[in-house]
Protein backbone atom coordinates (compact mmCIF):
# COMPACT_ATOMS: atom_id res chain seq x y z
CA UNK A 1 0.00 0.00 0.00
CA UNK A 2 1.34 3.39 -0.95
CA UNK A 3 -1.32 5.98 -1.22
CA UNK A 4 -4.11 7.66 0.61
CA UNK A 5 -3.52 10.98 -1.10
CA UNK A 6 -1.74 10.32 -4.43
CA UNK A 7 1.98 10.61 -3.80
CA UNK A 8 1.88 10.26 -0.02
CA UNK A 9 2.96 6.85 1.30
CA UNK A 10 3.23 5.89 4.99
CA UNK A 11 1.17 7.52 7.73
CA UNK A 12 1.87 10.05 10.43
CA UNK A 13 -0.43 12.33 12.40
CA UNK A 14 -0.02 16.03 11.69
CA UNK A 15 -2.29 18.83 12.85
CA UNK A 16 -4.97 16.29 13.70
CA UNK A 17 -5.12 14.67 10.25
CA UNK A 18 -3.31 11.78 8.56
CA UNK A 19 -0.67 13.03 6.14
CA UNK A 20 2.40 11.67 4.41
CA UNK A 21 5.37 10.37 6.35
CA UNK A 22 7.80 13.26 6.11
CA UNK A 23 10.70 13.29 8.60
CA UNK A 24 9.92 15.44 11.66
CA UNK A 25 6.92 16.86 9.82
CA UNK A 26 4.91 17.51 12.97
CA UNK A 27 7.82 19.23 14.68
CA UNK A 28 8.62 21.38 11.65
CA UNK A 29 5.07 22.49 10.87
CA UNK A 30 5.17 26.31 11.24
CA UNK A 31 2.52 28.09 13.22
CA UNK A 32 -0.16 29.44 10.85
CA UNK A 33 0.29 33.11 10.14
CA UNK A 34 4.04 33.16 10.91
CA UNK A 35 6.56 34.46 8.40
CA UNK A 36 7.98 30.97 7.96
CA UNK A 37 4.58 29.56 7.21
CA UNK A 38 4.33 31.04 3.71
CA UNK A 39 0.58 31.43 4.22
CA UNK A 40 -1.48 33.91 2.29
CA UNK A 41 -0.63 37.56 2.62
CA UNK A 42 -3.60 39.74 1.80
CA UNK A 43 -2.70 42.42 -0.75
CA UNK A 44 -3.91 45.92 -0.12
CA UNK A 45 -3.59 46.88 -3.77
CA UNK A 46 -5.86 45.49 -6.43
CA UNK A 47 -4.69 43.60 -9.48
CA UNK A 48 -5.97 44.14 -13.02
CA UNK A 49 -8.05 41.65 -14.97
CA UNK A 50 -10.31 39.55 -12.76
CA UNK A 51 -9.50 41.31 -9.47
CA UNK A 52 -12.85 43.11 -9.21
CA UNK A 53 -15.06 40.21 -10.29
CA UNK A 54 -17.67 38.77 -7.95
CA UNK A 55 -17.14 35.28 -6.52
CA UNK A 56 -19.51 33.60 -9.05
CA UNK A 57 -17.78 35.46 -11.89
CA UNK A 58 -14.34 34.39 -10.59
CA UNK A 59 -15.51 30.78 -10.56
CA UNK A 60 -16.94 30.97 -14.07
CA UNK A 61 -13.73 32.56 -15.37
CA UNK A 62 -11.67 29.80 -13.71
CA UNK A 63 -13.91 27.07 -15.12
CA UNK A 64 -13.55 28.51 -18.61
CA UNK A 65 -9.77 28.73 -18.24
CA UNK A 66 -9.69 25.07 -17.18
CA UNK A 67 -11.79 24.01 -20.15
CA UNK A 68 -14.59 22.52 -18.05
CA UNK A 69 -17.84 21.52 -19.77
CA UNK A 70 -20.43 24.28 -19.84
CA UNK A 71 -23.06 21.77 -18.71
CA UNK A 72 -21.03 21.03 -15.57
CA UNK A 73 -18.46 18.46 -14.43
CA UNK A 74 -19.94 15.37 -12.80
CA UNK A 75 -17.28 12.68 -13.39
CA UNK A 76 -13.50 12.92 -13.72
CA UNK A 77 -11.03 10.20 -14.69
CA UNK A 78 -7.27 10.77 -14.47
CA UNK A 79 -4.10 8.71 -14.67
CA UNK A 80 -1.41 10.32 -12.56
CA UNK A 81 2.29 9.59 -12.21
CA UNK A 82 3.73 10.58 -8.85
CA UNK A 83 7.32 11.15 -7.81
CA UNK A 84 8.22 11.82 -4.19
CA UNK A 85 11.23 13.94 -3.31
CA UNK A 86 14.09 11.51 -2.68
CA UNK A 87 11.76 8.55 -2.08
CA UNK A 88 12.23 6.03 -4.84
CA UNK A 89 10.77 5.59 -8.34
CA UNK A 90 7.57 7.13 -9.61
CA UNK A 91 4.36 5.11 -9.59
CA UNK A 92 0.98 5.30 -11.28
CA UNK A 93 -2.45 6.10 -9.82
CA UNK A 94 -5.74 5.61 -11.67
CA UNK A 95 -8.27 8.01 -10.13
CA UNK A 96 -12.04 8.15 -10.64
CA UNK A 97 -13.81 11.10 -9.02
CA UNK A 98 -17.61 11.11 -9.00
CA UNK A 99 -18.52 14.67 -8.07
CA UNK A 100 -22.25 14.10 -8.42
CA UNK A 101 -22.24 11.04 -6.15
CA UNK A 102 -19.33 12.12 -3.91
CA UNK A 103 -17.46 8.89 -4.64
CA UNK A 104 -13.72 8.44 -5.08
CA UNK A 105 -11.66 5.48 -6.24
CA UNK A 106 -7.85 5.61 -6.22
CA UNK A 107 -5.99 2.59 -7.59
CA UNK A 108 -2.20 2.44 -7.24
CA UNK A 109 0.13 0.24 -9.29
CA UNK A 110 3.74 -0.81 -8.91
CA UNK A 111 4.72 -1.43 -12.51
CA UNK A 112 1.81 -3.47 -13.89
CA UNK A 113 0.89 -5.01 -10.53
CA UNK A 114 -1.99 -3.80 -8.40
CA UNK A 115 -0.74 -2.31 -5.14
CA UNK A 116 -3.81 -0.87 -3.39
CA UNK A 117 -7.29 0.53 -3.93
CA UNK A 118 -9.07 3.17 -1.87
CA UNK A 119 -12.82 3.41 -2.36
CA UNK A 120 -14.73 6.21 -0.66
CA UNK A 121 -18.50 6.61 -0.87
CA UNK A 122 -21.12 8.42 1.22
CA UNK A 123 -22.01 5.11 2.90
CA UNK A 124 -18.53 3.76 3.66
CA UNK A 125 -14.78 3.88 3.02
CA UNK A 126 -12.64 0.83 2.21
CA UNK A 127 -9.01 0.02 1.49
CA UNK A 128 -8.11 -3.10 -0.49
CA UNK A 129 -4.66 -4.67 -0.87
CA UNK A 130 -3.88 -8.09 -2.34
CA UNK A 131 -1.95 -8.95 0.82
CA UNK A 132 -4.58 -8.02 3.41
CA UNK A 133 -7.90 -7.92 1.61
CA UNK A 134 -10.45 -5.23 2.49
CA UNK A 135 -10.32 -3.12 5.64
CA UNK A 136 -12.07 0.12 6.67
CA UNK A 137 -10.36 3.44 6.03
CA UNK A 138 -9.97 5.47 9.27
CA UNK A 139 -12.15 8.62 9.25
CA UNK A 140 -9.21 11.04 9.47
CA UNK A 141 -7.47 9.32 6.60
CA UNK A 142 -10.67 9.38 4.55
CA UNK A 143 -11.00 13.11 5.19
CA UNK A 144 -7.61 13.78 3.63
CA UNK A 145 -8.40 11.45 0.73
CA UNK A 146 -11.47 13.54 0.03
CA UNK A 147 -9.20 16.44 -0.85
CA UNK A 148 -9.37 14.91 -4.33
CA UNK A 149 -13.01 16.08 -4.42
CA UNK A 150 -11.94 19.67 -3.63
CA UNK A 151 -8.60 20.33 -5.30
CA UNK A 152 -7.74 21.18 -8.88
CA UNK A 153 -10.14 20.66 -11.77
CA UNK A 154 -12.42 18.53 -9.59
CA UNK A 155 -12.80 21.30 -7.04
CA UNK A 156 -13.62 23.91 -9.67
CA UNK A 157 -16.22 21.54 -11.09
CA UNK A 158 -17.75 20.78 -7.69
CA UNK A 159 -17.82 24.42 -6.65
CA UNK A 160 -20.97 25.09 -8.68
CA UNK A 161 -22.97 22.28 -7.09
CA UNK A 162 -26.12 23.14 -5.10
CA UNK A 163 -25.50 24.08 -1.48
CA UNK A 164 -22.02 25.54 -1.93
CA UNK A 165 -21.20 29.09 -0.80
CA UNK A 166 -18.76 31.26 -2.74
CA UNK A 167 -16.83 34.28 -1.54
CA UNK A 168 -14.08 36.44 -3.02
CA UNK A 169 -11.21 36.68 -0.50
CA UNK A 170 -9.28 39.44 -2.25
CA UNK A 171 -5.76 39.56 -3.62
CA UNK A 172 -3.25 37.37 -1.78
CA UNK A 173 0.32 36.13 -2.06
CA UNK A 174 0.89 32.44 -1.39
CA UNK A 175 4.20 30.62 -0.80
CA UNK A 176 5.76 33.96 0.04
CA UNK A 177 8.91 32.30 1.39
CA UNK A 178 9.21 29.83 -1.48
CA UNK A 179 11.28 30.05 -4.67
CA UNK A 180 8.31 31.35 -6.69
CA UNK A 181 5.70 33.26 -4.68
CA UNK A 182 2.28 33.26 -6.33
CA UNK A 183 -0.04 36.27 -6.30
CA UNK A 184 -3.61 36.38 -7.50
CA UNK A 185 -7.29 36.50 -6.63
CA UNK A 186 -8.59 34.06 -4.03
CA UNK A 187 -11.92 32.32 -4.45
CA UNK A 188 -13.18 30.56 -1.31
CA UNK A 189 -15.72 27.74 -1.60
CA UNK A 190 -17.61 26.21 1.33
CA UNK A 191 -19.51 22.92 0.97
CA UNK A 192 -22.56 21.75 2.96
CA UNK A 193 -20.39 19.21 4.83
CA UNK A 194 -18.37 22.07 6.35
CA UNK A 195 -15.27 21.74 4.17
CA UNK A 196 -13.86 25.03 2.83
CA UNK A 197 -11.26 25.29 0.08
CA UNK A 198 -9.37 28.27 -1.36
CA UNK A 199 -8.33 28.71 -5.00
CA UNK A 200 -5.64 31.17 -6.13
CA UNK A 201 -6.47 32.40 -9.64
CA UNK A 202 -4.37 34.22 -12.21
CA UNK A 203 -5.58 37.83 -12.20
CA UNK A 204 -5.49 38.07 -16.00
CA UNK A 205 -6.61 34.68 -17.29
CA UNK A 206 -8.47 33.13 -14.36
CA UNK A 207 -6.21 30.08 -14.60
CA UNK A 208 -5.80 28.06 -11.39
CA UNK A 209 -2.38 28.74 -9.88
CA UNK A 210 -2.74 26.97 -6.53
CA UNK A 211 -5.27 25.73 -4.00
CA UNK A 212 -5.44 24.58 -0.38
CA UNK A 213 -7.73 23.82 2.52
CA UNK A 214 -8.98 26.83 4.43
CA UNK A 215 -8.45 24.93 7.70
CA UNK A 216 -5.89 27.03 9.57
CA UNK A 217 -4.11 23.87 10.75
CA UNK A 218 -3.59 22.78 7.14
CA UNK A 219 -3.00 26.02 5.24
CA UNK A 220 0.72 25.23 5.06
CA UNK A 221 -0.09 22.42 2.60
CA UNK A 222 -0.53 23.99 -0.84
CA UNK A 223 -1.05 22.46 -4.26
CA UNK A 224 0.43 24.43 -7.18
CA UNK A 225 -0.27 23.88 -10.88
CA UNK A 226 2.08 24.29 -13.83
CA UNK A 227 0.84 24.81 -17.39
CA UNK A 228 -2.60 23.22 -16.96
CA UNK A 229 -4.21 22.66 -20.34
CA UNK A 230 -7.88 22.90 -21.22
CA UNK A 231 -8.86 19.32 -21.93
CA UNK A 232 -12.24 17.77 -22.63
CA UNK A 233 -12.07 14.02 -23.15
CA UNK A 234 -8.33 14.23 -23.81
CA UNK A 235 -6.17 11.11 -23.75
CA UNK A 236 -2.42 11.07 -24.25
CA UNK A 237 -1.19 8.11 -26.32
CA UNK A 238 1.10 5.73 -24.45
CA UNK A 239 4.79 6.48 -24.72
CA UNK A 240 8.00 5.85 -22.79
CA UNK A 241 7.94 9.44 -21.53
CA UNK A 242 4.37 10.72 -21.99
CA UNK A 243 3.81 14.44 -22.02
CA UNK A 244 1.84 15.63 -19.00
CA UNK A 245 -1.41 17.51 -19.41
CA UNK A 246 -0.75 19.14 -16.08
CA UNK A 247 1.92 19.14 -13.40
CA UNK A 248 0.98 19.74 -9.78
CA UNK A 249 3.14 19.97 -6.69
CA UNK A 250 2.30 19.64 -3.01
CA UNK A 251 4.21 22.04 -0.78
CA UNK A 252 4.65 22.15 2.99
CA UNK A 253 5.56 25.81 3.45
CA UNK A 254 8.56 26.17 1.10
CA UNK A 255 9.36 22.42 1.00
CA UNK A 256 8.22 20.16 -1.84
CA UNK A 257 6.58 16.93 -0.62
CA UNK A 258 5.82 15.41 -4.02
CA UNK A 259 5.10 16.16 -7.66
CA UNK A 260 2.44 14.71 -9.92
CA UNK A 261 2.04 14.53 -13.67
CA UNK A 262 -1.46 14.13 -15.04
CA UNK A 263 -0.93 11.81 -18.00
CA UNK A 264 -4.55 11.47 -19.12
CA UNK A 265 -7.74 13.26 -18.18
CA UNK A 266 -11.34 12.57 -19.18
CA UNK A 267 -14.14 14.97 -18.31
CA UNK A 268 -17.59 13.38 -17.94
CA UNK A 269 -16.51 10.05 -19.47
CA UNK A 270 -18.82 7.07 -19.83
CA UNK A 271 -17.94 4.78 -16.92
CA UNK A 272 -18.23 1.01 -17.03
CA UNK A 273 -20.65 -0.70 -14.58
CA UNK A 274 -17.98 -1.84 -12.11
CA UNK A 275 -15.97 1.37 -12.00
CA UNK A 276 -16.69 2.03 -8.32
CA UNK A 277 -16.21 -1.51 -7.09
CA UNK A 278 -13.21 -3.13 -5.44
CA UNK A 279 -11.03 -5.21 -7.81
CA UNK A 280 -9.93 -8.80 -7.88
CA UNK A 281 -6.48 -9.62 -6.52
CA UNK A 282 -5.13 -10.23 -10.03
CA UNK A 283 -6.11 -6.88 -11.56
CA UNK A 284 -3.53 -5.43 -13.94
CA UNK A 285 -2.82 -1.83 -14.76
CA UNK A 286 -5.24 -0.42 -17.37
> How high is the pLDDT of residue 265?
94
Domain limits, the chain: 40-71+140-267
Block means of pLDDT (10 residues each) for the chain, length 286 residues?
Answer: 44 36 31 36 43 88 93 94 75 93 93 91 93 91 89 94 93 90 96 91 94 83 76 41 79 89 94 83 50
What is the chain written as a DSSP string?
A: ---SBTTB-SEEEETTEEEE--TTHHHH-PPTTSGGGT--EE-SS--STTTT--HHHHHHHHHHHHT--TT---EEEEEEEEEETTSSS-EEEEEEEETTTTEEEEEEEETTEEEEEEEEETTEEEEEETTTEEEEPPHHHHHHHGGGGTSHHHHHHHTTSTT-EEEEEEEEEESTTSSS-EEEEEEEEE-TTS-EEEEEE-TTT--EEEEEE--TTTTTEEEEEES----SSB-PPP-SSPPPSEEEEEEETTEEEEEEEEEEEEESPPPPTTTTS---TTPBP-
> How high is the pLDDT of residue 85?
66
> How high is the pLDDT of residue 112?
85
> How high is the pLDDT of residue 24?
28
> How high is the pLDDT of residue 53?
85
pTM: 0.78
Amino acid sequence: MKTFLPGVPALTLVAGLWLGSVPTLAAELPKPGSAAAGSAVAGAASLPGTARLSAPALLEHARQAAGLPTAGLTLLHERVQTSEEGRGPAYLSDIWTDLAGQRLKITDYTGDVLDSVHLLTPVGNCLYTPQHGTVPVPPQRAEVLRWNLRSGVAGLGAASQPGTRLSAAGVQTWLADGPQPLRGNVLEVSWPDGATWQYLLDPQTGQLLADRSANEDLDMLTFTYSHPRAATGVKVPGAAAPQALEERTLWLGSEVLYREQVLTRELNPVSVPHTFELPSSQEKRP
